Amino acid sequence: MQKSGYLTVESLRHAVTVMAIGAVYWALVAQAEGISEPWDAAWYWTAYYPLSLLTSAMAGVVFGRRHGVTGFSLIIPQAYVMLFTMDDLARWPIGLGFCVALSIPAVLAAWLAARLVRR
């Protein structure tokens, strides 16, 4: 395994895997709801986002110490979905900031799950 400080080939592989899962998930949410911003979905706060937090927790268990990358990598693809589905990209930077804020609970869920399993 090649290392470059904290970043390893393995951690990049984990991040890309989780990011791909997130991209597919959020694209399906947007397509099913007919929206460009996943958080505009009717079920976002009651189903889609909580499911993404649960998925972050599970990924935190699977990928262990890379919980920060895991939680962030699952939520941030919402910004990619917006980028490819929005008509007006002027709002994209605000959406990206919102995605970063939404990733904080996902990082915490992944960290907590990884910590509980290690005990």
**pLDDT tens digits, 61-87:** 888 777 677 888 899 999 888 888 888
Number of domains composing the chain: 1
* 33-59: pLDDT as tens digits: 998 888 889 999 999 999 999 999 998
How far is C-alpha 31 from the geometric centre of its chain's CA atoms?
A: 17
User: Mean pLDDT, to the nearest integer, of 6-29?
Assistant: 85
pLDDT of residue 6: 63
**Is the Cα dihedral 71, 80, 16, 32 positive or negative?**
positive
According to DSSP H, which parts of the chain are helical? 9-33, 49-63, 67-75, 77-85, 92-118
Domain with 13, as residue range(s), is: 3-118
Mean pLDDT of the chain: 86
pTM for the whole structure: 0.84
pLDDT band at 92 (very low <50, low <70, confident <90, very high): confident
